[in-house]
Structure 1
Amino acid sequence: MQPKLQRVEAHPTVVKRVSRRHEDEAHGGAWKVAFADFCLALMCLFLVLWLLASRNSERMQQLLKTAGADLIEEGQGLTSSLASGSRGSMIDRNPVPAHGEAPVKGKSNQSSDTDLPDADPRLSKSRYESAGEMRELAKLIERIAAQVGLASNLHSAITPQGLRLMLHDTDTQGMFERGSPYPSARMRELLRKLGPLFARMDNQLIIVGHTDASPYSDKSPGAFSNSALSSHRAMAARHQLMEGGMPADTVMQVSGMADRAPLDPARPQAAINRRIELMVLTSSQARQLSGMFGLPREGLSLDATPPNPEGLLQRLQQQLAPYRAASAPAP
């Protein structure tokens, strides 16, 4: 007898699909890469902002030093809160040595006498008095200006007071940033090259700043004006000369005349009116100027005044006529 087969009912097979997509994303590495990129970009942004802030602080210190704030971080007196800023910098301030030259620690940026072109034995004397000696000095300074590309920005004149050196703007090249006492790179290079030359002279120096007649919008008594700008530029020139090696006692006077003495009165806003003048004084003129502002002395005569200042002014204007014509705008 065959066994009785029991009927087995077939049940449907249920397949349950469980999505693990969210768990895979949470445990994957894609979000970590994105987060690392975000952190790197954020760190680069902070680094750039820090460098910009550091550069602005150092530039403010330079401007305040050129304006006469010599106590900034010099270990004397107080430190200006406007220029305190960051105390560190990742940018090396030492000059880059030439190829094959070993860097020297503590070496300053001062120029040396070897930077002077074609040292003339006749210029080895320490004082210049006569017109011929002043003329030789002017030629040497003109060669130095030509080396730095400022031959067209320098004009010299021999006067009874000494050698008058006028470093003026042109329509294509300025000595300072417009409206700023910060000198251009070529102006800084020229003044630092003149530092060693003035260091080996006994002649006293006067530095005078001049601007054009373009006024500032704010004309209140306490606002920044052309008088302040010309004074700050004159102080900036003194600072750059001292950076080149000129002793501080070489300069007898630093002043700013704003737009009160233009070289081109017919065009008060002309580029030639924006200038720095360096007056190399003769010994007699230096004594007279010192007596004028120092302790009054008996017997001081004013007969040394040129008998015909109008004629001297006319001759100087004739000498400057080619420069004014070259800088005049084309019709």
Structure 2
Amino acid sequence: MDGQSNARPVIIKRKKIIKGGGHHGGAWKVAYADFVTAMMAFFMLMWLLNATTEKQRKGLADYFSPTIPINRVSGGGSDAFGGDSVMTSGPKPASGTSKAEPISATNDGEDGAHADAKMEAELIEKALLARGGESMTMERALRHVITKVTDEGMVIEIFDLDDVPLFDGLTATPMPVMDDIAAMLVEVLSLATNKLAVNGHVRSFPITLVDNPAWALSAARAQAMRSHLQKFGLDSERVARIGGFADKKPITANPMAIRNNRLEVILLRKNR
């Protein structure tokens, strides 16, 4: 009995098992990732609002809108009708519409001159849209044309496409598409009586040449445009001046881009 009383008591320890883990699973990681993504999108939106112009924001909105055809509405550009080309989406005037009477900018003052130029732009835009609906030939010609209103007047810009140049190589010899463009312009320019200016521009050449042809080429192409317009019926008395600007006024970030090969036919305001 004494031997049993001196024996050490037996202690049994029981471990408490907690099911599910102390970190409550991995659902919080998904929620946190969603929160970080949302914050990143928010800060990107705030940056875009501060770093872009109104036209660029409209272009972004058009791109992400599934109901707007991307190629035929504003892309946020600075030219044409608020960023649109002459091939603007929307209802087009039907072929064979009645011919409008010629207009002339006669309003006095800066506000009146600007209103006249805007009215001319709208009138000629409608006329160009009507011509574009006549045939595929006119549609192809209009790919080269945009318009804009400046302090000088309404500018009709005709430019090279990558696959369809206006002139043969580095010459002032017009390509066949120039016939279609000139005939179309003469018809729509008859809607106004203002004097015209014709400007030529070319892209920069990749190397510095001893005899850089840019000045002579741009002037020769402007002359060729004038001759072409007169060939299709434009009154020679309406041409007030012709200019060649070489590669001094590029309209793209890359001065050697084909897009810088262009002509401008300007419907001048009365005070210019």
**Superposition TM-score, scaled by structure 2 size:** 0.55
Report whether the alignment pairs 1:183 with 2:174: yes
Q: Is the 8 A contact 1:145 1:190 kept in 2?
A: no
Partner of 2:108: none
- Corresponding residue for 1:249? 237
Q: 1:298 maps to what in 2?
A: none
Mapped contact 2:124–2:189 kept (Cα < 8 A): no
Aligned to 2:102: 125
The CA deviation at 1:173 is 1.4
1:1-331 superposed matches below 5 A: 118-121=96-99, 123-128=100-105, 129-144=116-131, 147=138, 149-199=140-190, 201-214=192-205, 219-220=210-211, 225-264=213-252, 266-285=253-272
Task: Report deviation, 1:191.
Answer: 0.5
Q: Contact (CA 8 Å) 2:145, 2:157: kept in 1 or not? A: yes
Q: How many residues align?
A: 165
CA shift for structure 1 position 188: 1.9
1:138 shift after superposition: 2.5
DSSP 3-state at the match of 1:163: strand
After superposition, the Cα gap between the structure-2 partners of 1:236 and 1:216, relative to the gap in structure 1 and judged at 3 Å, is: farther
Stretches of structure 1 that go unaligned for 5 or more consecutive residues are: 1-115, 286-331
1:1-54 C-alpha deviation (Å, 9 max, x unpaired): xxxxxxxxxxxxxxxxxxxxxxxxxxxxxxxxxxxxxxxxxxxxxxxxxxxxxx
Q: Distance in 1 between matches of 2:256 and 2:219?
A: 18
Q: Provide the identity percentage.
A: 22
User: 1:163–1:280: 8 Å Cα contact kept in structure 2?
Assistant: yes
RMSD over aligned CA atoms reads 2.4
Letter in 1 for 2:245: M
Question: 1:210·1:230 contact (CA, 8 Å) conserved in 2?
Answer: yes
